[in-house]
Amino acid sequence: ADVAAGKSKSATCAACHGNKGISMIPMYPNLAGQKEQYLVLQIKAFRDGDRKNMVMSPMAAGLSDTDIANLSAYYASLDPAGK
């Protein structure tokens, strides 16, 4: 996967999940350092309707498998402590 492409794709995500993958909003999860494969599974679940959320479903709707792989690799690569 392409972490740099994931980073540029993540501009929209940062609004809720934070610029360093640490969310500012208690209901929204931190993504920094999360398991890459877990992230792929969850974003696909939101995209394909297996997991439903009013905010995430539309966010994931337009993503390709490549986008999802890159975004997941990017967030997995971030420092879990957000430094």
Binding site for a second copy (CB under 8 A): 23, 25-30, 32-38, 41, 50-52, 79-82
Which DSSP letter does residue 26 get? T
Residue 2 or 28 with smaller CB distance to a second copy: 28
Count CB-CB contacts under 10 A for residue 13: 21
**What is the nearest approach in angstroms of a second copy to the Cβ of residue 15?**
16
| Cβ distance to a second copy smaller for residue 8 or 57 | 57
The H-or-E segment that residue 70 falls in is helix 65-77
Q: CB of residue 48 vs a second copy: minimum separation in angstroms?
A: 13
Report d(CA 48, CA 67) in Å as an integer.
14
